């Protein structure tokens, strides 16, 4: 089964939590055009406060992407993994896996907050967005509205 995966990772500190900086951060894209990729690789886009949220694009082996994919015959089973386990917010109840038919895609979002060792440097935050399509799709598929949206973003104060 043909699968297209894009992982968009956005990271920031308290400097981008409010006001104009937060508005700028919240306006960054959560989907990009997918370049040609080798089999079993995902498109990886990283945006960080340190780089002015400028997208940095690359590729990662699917096994390094925080999403579980399983071919179930006529459907693709997709479940985002929560990593690492020590981040906030806690997720006691998670949504079930999504099962996609060919031509469908899911956008799955998870956010995290971390404190530095001993709390010296303050908190850091990140948002993982996993865009996963089943079957052959156009390179700009993730610029449209997803078939399924799973929003696991929680309070990270």
**18 falls in which pLDDT band (50, 70, 90)?**
confident
**86 falls in which pLDDT band (50, 70, 90)?**
low
Query: Cα–Cα distances in Å, from 147 out to 52, 125, 138?
Result: 30, 27, 15
What confidence score (pLDDT) does residue 118 get?
59
> Which alpha helices (H) appear in 14-150, and where do they start and end?
19-26
How far apart CA 91 and CA 75 sit, in angstroms, is 26
What confidence score (pLDDT) does residue 116 get?
65
């Amino acid at each position: 089964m043909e699968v297209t995966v894009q992982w968009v990772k956005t990271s920031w500190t308290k400097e981008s939590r409010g006001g104009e900086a937060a508005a700028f951060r919240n306006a960054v894209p959560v989907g990009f055009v997918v370049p040609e990729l080798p089999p079993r690789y995902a498109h990886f886009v990283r945006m960080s406060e340190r780089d002015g949220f400028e997208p940095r694009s690359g590729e990662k082996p699917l096994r390094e992407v925080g999403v579980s994919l399983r071919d179930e015959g006529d459907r693709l089973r997709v479940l985002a993994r929560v990593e690492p386990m020590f981040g906030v917010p806690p997720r006691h109840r998670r949504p079930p896996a999504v099962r996609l038919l060919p031509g469908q895609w899911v956008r799955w979002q998870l956010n995290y907050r971390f404190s530095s060792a001993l709390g010296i440097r303050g908190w850091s935050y990140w948002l993982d967005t996993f865009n996963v399509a089943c079957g052959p799709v156009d390179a700009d598929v993730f610029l449209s509205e997803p078939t399924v949206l799973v929003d696991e973003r929680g309070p990270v104060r």
